[in-house]
Amino acid sequence: MKLGFFASGSGSNFEAVARRCQSGELGAGAAVVICNVPDAGVFERAKELGVAAYLVRRDDFAEGPAFAARLLEILREHGVELILMAGYLRKLPGALLRAYPYRVLNIHPALLPSFGGKGLYGRRVHEAVLEAGCRVTGVTVHLADDKYDHGPIVLQRAVEVREGDTPESLAARVLEVEHQIYGDAVRLFVQNRVRVEHGRVHILA
């Protein structure tokens, strides 16, 4: 199964999944990365792993439909079957979501539906978790829809909040789990074990 990644930043989730692909563990291949930030770290990682990477910015297109068409063109050229948003800080165009129904995943560094939504990304998520005094946080992989950090949940894993945690220490432990769980979610799709009914995911045995 060919994977397409959307990223805006460092791309460590892209790298973690791509490495598991290249080891043959997932039955999937990292086909392409699309990024909207010129100097994002993900470009370097893609180069190192030999994965094609494209810079595509919404602002380079006068019209939304032309932007969506370019994204779809790249995905189709690379035969992408499953899309992974990996730290992509924009919503994907509706036309793209419609072209890949229940085939667009997002990863979020908290247990949704808590601590998600517009503006809650990166350090701010962990700050909010600590501010609320939570004892547990975690990672969510979900199918993306037209709202930020929203859509049927595929996998979640909990991470304990420790006494004395800072946003940075918590982020680091959460990120380790992200790197595991995203590939695990991909494997469920490769095995054709994911069904969506009434907005909820069922994982077949």
Question: Which residues does the annotation mark as catalytic?
Answer: 108
**178 counts as binding ligand GRF under rule CB under 6 A:** yes
- Please name the residue that has the structure tokens 């995911």: 201
Separation between Cα atoms, residue 136 and residue 158, nearest integer Å: 6
Which window, 4-12, 58-66, 69-77, 151-159, contacts ligand GRF (CB under 6 A)? 4-12
The least distance separating ligand GRF from the CB of residue 115, rounded to whole angstroms, comes to: 11
Rounding to the nearest 10 degrees, give the CA dihedral for residues 44, 7, 58, 50: 40
Q: Exactly one of 30, 36, 51, 108 binds ligand GRF (CB under 6 A); which one?
A: 108
Q: Exactly one of 28, 78, 83, 87 binds ligand GRF (CB under 6 A); which one?
A: 87
**51 neighbors 24 (Cβ within 8 angstroms):** no
Q: How big is the site for ligand GRF, counted in residues (CB under 6 A)?
A: 13
**12 counts as binding ligand GRF under rule CB under 6 A:** yes
CB closer to ligand GRF out of 74 and 89: 89
Which window, 2-10, 26-34, 74-82, 157-165, contacts ligand GRF (CB under 6 A)? 2-10
**13 counts as binding ligand GRF under rule CB under 6 A:** yes
**86 counts as binding ligand GRF under rule CB under 6 A:** yes
**16 neighbors 175 (Cβ within 8 angstroms):** no
Residues that bind ligand GRF (CB under 6 A): 7, 9-13, 86-87, 107-109, 175, 178
